[in-house]
Amino acid sequence: MKALLNREFVFRLEVLNNLSRERKNSTSISDYASLLSKDRRTILKNIEALKNDITHLGCEKYITIISTDESTVFVDITPDFDTNYFLLYYLEQSVLFNLCIEIFNGNFVDLQSFATQHFYSYSTVYRKAKELNHLLQQYDLILDLNTTTYIIGREQNIRFFFFTLFWESYKVLKWPFKDIEYNELKKILEERNPEMLQFLIKPNMVFIWFAVTITRITNGYIINEEYDYTDSTFPMLSREKFLKFFSNFTKNYPKLEILDEANWNYEANFLYFTLLTSQIYPLKLIPTLKLTNFVGVKMNNSNLITEHWIKQFMAKFDISLDINEYFYLYYNLLSLHNRYLYLPGPVEIINIFNDTSYANMDLFIDHELVTTFLNDLFSDPIIAPLESQKQSLINFYLLLISELMNNKRPVLHIAIFAHSSVFQKDFFETILIKHLSFPINFVSYTAKEIDFLITDVSLSGFLHKEIPTFVWNSTIERDKLNRLISYLNMVYTKKYKVQSRSTKD
């Protein structure tokens, strides 16, 4: 949760995330300063701090930063380097993060004791507490350190805040719950409850949700009221099956077993709702899931919005959906809409797409046309209740559409013929797979169906047919690669009549 970082760590992460990922890259300090809108001295200071952090974390084999003078920085970063290591390191040194951890664990006494224990000045801690209160207000909560609970508001909102805190901080690195044994919890969830396996694609998300629940109940904070989402039903797991699972789960934790019937149901309903609205499932997994029968399900706002969204999308782009594509949109949109209708606070919905980027939308539907459609959606009276969350929702809508269209796009058949021994056929195949947003199929130059030919000799006379061709000599240059990619995009767009603003108007 970057909102809890000390200010100096925020900028250090910004410098880190903007370092070039090109191997053994050398960049001007002035260019970094211009990119980040800071002076050179600030950039140099933060680069030196980053170098010390790299050494402290033992990450020298993953990232190297060398600044031999005050004008240039040399960077070498391995492809698998993950800045989450640095995020957690900085969080654990930040005032607000430590304050939240003490409140969660029930160790907080007062601000003066906290300041003394962590070697902060009281004025710094007092100022940071005000910042935390501002953040909590986004979750409809109030920080009041003069009360015994410290955070005032609905227990559901407090749970959601702490889940967000732990998930965004510890999702890949460490287990932060000292009183809950990780392997024991993992065994209970994975081995004894097969119906939960479909939720364990991102297992740490599920583990953290249960750990937050167990800790809060153990510390005496129990959900004692129902929310407005009691009628929400999801196709991936029926409420009845989840309640049966939760009943078996509570037998492993004595503090959960002593809940009275009403509180137990409140806890189970909240866990059911939050687990099923915190994930996004890729299309390829939908056929493997057993979907709940929807006959007789009560219709609520989130269902209405979801069904209307899909109808508008299909009509706007003249698209038909098979059963898996429909449920892919229905389930993921239903999760998003329930989350944004009923739960407060800025939260990262957990997505498990592979290499999907809505910033580089596939060519099958023009990116500008899609964003225009999404912007116009919120003027519809049915979808208008989500207007306040428009920008965040649009980001997720783009992800969903991109994944859907990726599955629907036709293939371009490419032949690569090498006459010269220095012509690197494997190199071209790797480059095209990496840089083209549409699916491609490599075929022989003698195949019946060829859409594009890459070669180092002229084959047009031999093939006796007109094929878009890119003739390549032995020299590999970035400009030529860019031209090749652009040419292929143009051929694909022309062949499949890709929709754009001009073709729709």
Mean pLDDT along residues 393-397: 85
Residue closest to 409 by CA, chosen among 438, 436, 444, 441: 438
Query: What is the spatial distance between Cα 353 and Cα 405, in angstroms, rounded to a whole number?
Result: 13
Query: What is the spatial distance between Cα 317 and Cα 501, in angstroms, rounded to a whole number?
Result: 11
Mean pLDDT along residues 409-431: 77
Q: Please state, for a pLDDT cut of 90, what percent of the chain lies above it.
A: 22
Q: Which residue has the tokens 């009845």?
A: 240
Cβ(319)–Cβ(227) below 8 Å: no
**Is residue 498's pLDDT more than 70?**
no
Residue of 291 and 63 predicted with greater confidence: 63
Residue 279 to residues 169, 328, 336, Cα–Cα distance (Å): 17, 12, 9
Q: H-type helices in 61-154, by residue range? A: 84-91, 95-105, 111-117, 122-137
Residue of 455 and 209 predicted with greater confidence: 209
pLDDT at 484: 87
Q: Please state, for a pLDDT cut of 70, what percent of the chain lies above it.
A: 82
Residue 102 to residues 92, 96, 121, 382, Cα–Cα distance (Å): 12, 10, 17, 43
By residue count, the chain amounts to 505
3-state SS class at 300: coil
Q: What share of the chain is helix, strand, coil (3-state, %, to 5)?
A: 55, 10, 35
Cα angle vertex 147, ends 177, 140, to 5°?
Answer: 75
**Is residue 425's pLDDT more than 70?**
yes
Mean pLDDT along residues 74-94: 83
Contacts of 331 (CB under 8 A, 6+ apart): 234, 235, 236, 281, 286
Q: What is the DSSP letter of 118?
A: T
Structure tokens at 254: 């004595």
Q: Which of 95-99, 278-282, 319-323 has the lowest mean pLDDT?
A: 278-282
Q: Which residue has the tokens 């007789």?
A: 296
Mean pLDDT along residues 282-306: 70
pLDDT at 296: 43
Q: What are phi and psi of 361, to 5 degrees?
A: -60, 145
**Is residue 308's pLDDT more than 90?**
yes
Please, what is the average pLDDT of the chain?
Answer: 81
C-beta atoms surrounding 369 within 10 Å: 19
Chain CA centroid to CA 59, Å: 24
DSSP string, 338-363: HHHHH--S----EE--SS--GGG--T
**Is residue 357's pLDDT more than 70?**
no
- Highest average pLDDT, of 20-24, 27-31, 236-240, comes from 27-31
Max distance between CA atoms of the chain, in angstroms, equals: 87
Query: What is the spatial distance between Cα 452 and Cα 494, in angstroms, rounded to a whole number?
Result: 12
- Highest average pLDDT, of 78-92, 228-242, 264-278, 466-480, comes from 264-278
Q: Which residue has the tokens 């143009």?
A: 490
Mean pLDDT along residues 421-444: 80
- Which pTM does this prediction carry? 0.74
**Per-residue three-class SS string for 30-78:** HHHHHHHCCCHHHHHHHHHHHHHHHHHHCCCCCEEEECCCCCEEEEEEC
pLDDT at 505: 44
**Is residue 380's pLDDT more than 90?**
yes
pLDDT at 331: 85
Domains of the chain: 2-89 (1.10.10.10), 283-408 (no CATH), 412-504 (3.40.50)
Residue 436 to residues 425, 442, 454, Cα–Cα distance (Å): 16, 13, 15
